[in-house]
Copies of this chain bind each other. A is one copy, B any other.
Amino acid sequence: MAKIGVFDSGVGGLTILKKLMDEFPLEEFIYLGDTARLPYGSKSPETIRKYCEQVMSFLIQQKVDAIVIACNSASTQVPEKEWQGIPVFNVIDPGTESALKISKTLRIGLLGTRATVGSNVYHDRILKLSPDAKVFSQSCPLFVPLAEEGWIDDPITNLVVFRYIQPIITQGIDTLILGCTHYNLLANSIDRAIRSSHLEIQIADSAQALADALKNEFDSGRLQYAKKASLRILMTDESKHTNEWTQKILGLNLSENFETVVL
């Protein structure tokens, strides 16, 4: 009976957790947000790797049976499909596969953090699967702070989105990867910028593709359904702001299952 460990540098990965809880309503989840050291997306590959290893070791101590890296910046530094005998799912592989499935022109846009764009991991994996593809990337360091500030559907956010997205839209992409779990929170502004271009651009849904990958694991019998819903939310730093976001994204009162931990 599987317990799934899901982690992110902060609260962005809760959008992935929410999807997994919807898809697997009778599953045990443990979520860890490394809020004492967030964000990962502005840090070096070596530092991100060190933090990921510490988080994954911690989750394994919590007896998880699978690890989901619900953070693109973290996923760039964990190529392994298995860690200390435990299966590991990143968000980049499903995002890549989803994009290649929907793209007809193979001109694909990527929005991500500095770490994700700078790593070239999306670019390399897309080209490995489809050598004729073209990937156009843009790092968007203001998206996470805008989402965290709650400036959703906001004229300033629309301007920032338009500025970041315009250079890759003009490359004639037909598919866009939102390469950071926070960016779904800005989906309306991103849609608006796309519509204003009068181009047909589809957004690749990493969360659904990740849920599908995990479903395969259950269906194949490599993971057993827990048949009993449970949830623990762990953060390395506690703040009112983090708690508010956790409740907003999950729609849960967290008083009973929220803990602060030291890695």
Contacts and interface: CB of A to CB of B under 8 A. Distances in A.
For chain A, give the interface size range: 20 to 34
Interface string A29-55: 000000111100011101100000000
Contacts of A156: 156, 159-160, 163
A243 to B, nearest CB: 11
Contacts of A38: 42
Nearest to A163: B156
Closest 10 CB pairs of A and B: A145-B145, A47-B237, A44-B239, A36-B47, A37-B37, A44-B237, A142-B145, A43-B237, A141-B149, A156-B159
Contacts of A145: 141-142, 145
A198 interface: no
A14 B152 CA distance: 33
Interface of A: 35-38, 42-44, 46-47, 114, 141-142, 145-146, 148-149, 155-156, 159-160, 163, 237-239, 241
A49 to B, nearest CB: 12
Contacts of A239: 42-44
Nearest to A37: B37
Contacts of A141: 145, 148-149
Contacts of A44: 237-239
A182 to B, nearest CB: 13
Contacts of A114: 241
Nearest to A114: B241
